[in-house]
Amino acid sequence: MAAGPTVLIMAAGHGTRMKSSLPKVLHPVCGRPMLLWVAAAARAAGAERVVAITRPGEGVAEHLPEDIETAEQTEGEGTGSAVLAAREAIDRDGTVLVLSGDNPLIASELIEGIVATHQEQQAKATLLTTSRLDPTGYGRIVRGADGGVEKIVETKHTDGVPEEYLAIREINIGAYAFHGGALLDALDRADEERGERYLTAALPLILESGGRIAPFETDDVSSAMGVNNRADLMDVERHARSALLRAHARAGVSFPNPETVTIDAEVEIGEDTVIEPGTTLRGPTVIGAGATIGPGTTVENSEIGDGVSVLHSYLTHCVVHDRASIGPFAYLRPKADIGADAKVGTYVEVKNSVIGAGAKIPHLSYIGDADVGEGANVAAGNITANYDGRDKHRTTIGARVRTGVNTSFVAPVTVGEGAYIGAGSVIVDDVPAGALGISRPEQKNVEGFAERVEKKP
């Protein structure tokens, strides 16, 4: 698509059948709003100008990246009114592409195909069709004797629609190329139906004015699927996920049980990494090479290095460096930064803390707002008391420190390099490097206690 035409994406209206407070086109498919899938396909097909048609107050415009312009649909209902709202963006002498914001998996190759067909056939309108979907609810393509399109019969409401039209399997996917002037002239004259001005009502008027309407038929089911309710959304998500997993698999990632893996569009994974069953990878998560993630693990918006292993754990907005070992049953919260070769083990929670290279926190600990030095060993059941009821404070545990089990660090507090902490201590004062910090009541043994107690009548 040389010096690509303008692409309009219809994205207004709440989509009442979604039964949602979120506008339809913002519903995510593999973590990315539907509308952004469409915009990405338009860009990949070479579109220079992408204009989303939104309605003020619906909150869609506010969610768009800067390179997507918006046109506000303030008047009228229906896809025809939507396009008219973008009148200023339509070149009367050029080609304009119109895509639907609820048709997320449309392939960029098909967008290119629409434009090529439009030019070859010198059409005034070209539209993408398929006969491969259940046609229920879609606009049906009525073809003329020459194979061109005569009109589209909408079937969202079937009352009064003649049987012969309901028997047609070929449907309108909702992706079009138009001659700008022909489109605007037709839409301005189009009648309303059920209070809506339909974009599809422009077609017979374009034909009447002597313009050709070319169909461009595809067998690509995922590209064709429109989303009008959440059952449609599930179907689309399944297709998108399967395509993503296959692309990762071809790039060297193993999924022993792909049916149980959930993955977002932005996720990146290195070669030789294994994504075990029951794993969910969300947001712009990056996973290195030779890692093992899962089983039973969620990783969101995080960066995981090479050779890392994460078992049965939940990781969100954190960084894990090469070869570290996480879990089973660890919880890494925002700004946890786990050093290379470090270990964060069973029932350990880490938040806003830097764990040095090779440090170990193997069992039952909470480390929040802390800096743990390289090679330190934090014994079982250590807690950083980071919150005094009003403010958060940091704990610093130096390199190669060895803490005892059941230690509490009452922050702010610093333990110097190579120091030891006695088991069961509550550390409220700094411990110098190389010292032993111990704070617990001395033990007292009461001799003969059992005998005395058991002899009581």
Interface ranges with ligand UD1 (CB under 6 A): 10-13, 24-25, 53, 73, 77-79, 81-82, 100-103, 138-139, 152, 154, 156, 171-174, 198-200, 226, 228
Nearest residue (CB) to ligand UD1, 138 versus 331: 138
Stretch of 102-110, 179-187, 232-240, 447-455 lying at the interface with Mg ion (CB under 5 A): 102-110
- Residues 200-229, one symbol each (x = binds Mg ion by CB under 5 A, - = not), give --------------------------x-x-
Work out whether 381 is an interface residue with Mg ion (CB under 5 A).
no
What is the dihedral sign for C-alpha 47, 53, 58, 61? positive
The answer to whether 63 and 24 are in contact (CB under 8 A) is no
CB of 275 to ligand UD1, least distance (A): 33
Report the nearest approach of ligand UD1 to the CB of residue 108 (Å). 18
For the bound state, the minimum distance from the C-beta of residue 59 to Mg ion, rounded and expressed in Å, comes to 19
Q: Is 78 an interacting residue with respect to Mg ion (CB under 5 A)? A: no
Of the candidates 319, 362, 365, the one whose C-alpha atom is nearest the C-alpha of residue 339 is: 319
Continuous H helices in 318-427: none
Query: Could you give the residue ranges of the DSSP H alpha helices within 190-330?
Result: 202-208, 221-224, 230-250
363 part of the active site: yes
DSSP conformational letter for 123: -
Q: How many Cα atoms sit within 13 Å of 197 on the Cβ side? A: 18
Q: Which among Mg ion, ligand UD1, none contacts residue 199 (Cβ within 5 to 8 A by kind)?
A: ligand UD1
Indicate the residue among 226 and 381 with the shorter CB distance to Mg ion: 226
Smallest separation (angstroms) from ligand UD1 to the CB of 135:
9
- Do residues 192 and 78 make contact, with C-beta atoms less than 8 angstroms apart? yes
Output phi, psi for 239, to 5 deg: -65, -45
99 or 332, CB closer to Mg ion?
A: 99
Q: Which two tokens stand for residue 206?
A: 């374009």
Please choose which of ligand UD1, Mg ion, none residue 407 contacts, taking the beta carbon within 5 to 8 angstroms, the exact cut-off set by kind: none
What does 79 bind: Mg ion, ligand UD1, none (CB cut-off 5 to 8 Å by kind)? Answer: ligand UD1
**Side-chain half-sphere CA neighbours of 240 within 13 A:** 29
Pick the closer one to ligand UD1 by CB: 155 or 346.
155
Cα separation, 312 vs 308, whole angstroms? 13
Q: Which of 14, 63, 317, 363 is catalytic?
A: 363
Q: Which does 39 bind (CB under 5 to 8 A by kind): Mg ion, ligand UD1, none?
A: none
Instruction: Determine contact, residues 224/236, Cβ cutoff 8 Å.
Output: no
Contact call for residue 196 and Mg ion (CB under 5 A) = no
Cis link prior to 295 (omega < 30° from 0)? yes
Q: Which segments of 48-201 does DSSP mark as H helices, in order?
A: 79-85, 108-120, 163-166, 180-189
Closest distance of CB 114 from ligand UD1, Å = 14
Determine contact, residues 350/371, Cβ cutoff 8 Å. Answer: no
25 binds, among ligand UD1, Mg ion, none (CB under 5 to 8 A by kind): ligand UD1
Structure tokens at 273: 């990494």
366: its two tokens: 């909470």
> For residues 4 and 104, which CB has a smaller minimum distance to Mg ion in the complex?
104
Contact partner at residue 440 from Mg ion, ligand UD1, none, CB < 5 to 8 Å by partner kind: none
CA 141 – CA 179 distance, rounded (Å): 20
Task: Determine, following the binding rule CB under 5 A, whether residue 102 of this chain makes contact with Mg ion.
Answer: yes
Least spacing, CB of residue 56 vs ligand UD1, in Å = 12
| Residue 356 near Mg ion by CB under 5 A | no
> Nearest-CB residue to ligand UD1?
139
CA–CA dist 82, 60 (Å, integer): 14
Residue 39 vs residues 64, 67, 188, 282, 357: alpha-carbon distances, Å:
10, 10, 27, 21, 42
Contacting range for Mg ion; rule: CB under 5 A; set: 5-13, 99-107, 109-117, 274-282 = 99-107
Return the number of the residue (136 or 257) whose C-beta is nearest ligand UD1. 136
Site residues (vs Mg ion, CB under 5 A): 102, 226, 228
Residues labelled as active-site residues: 363
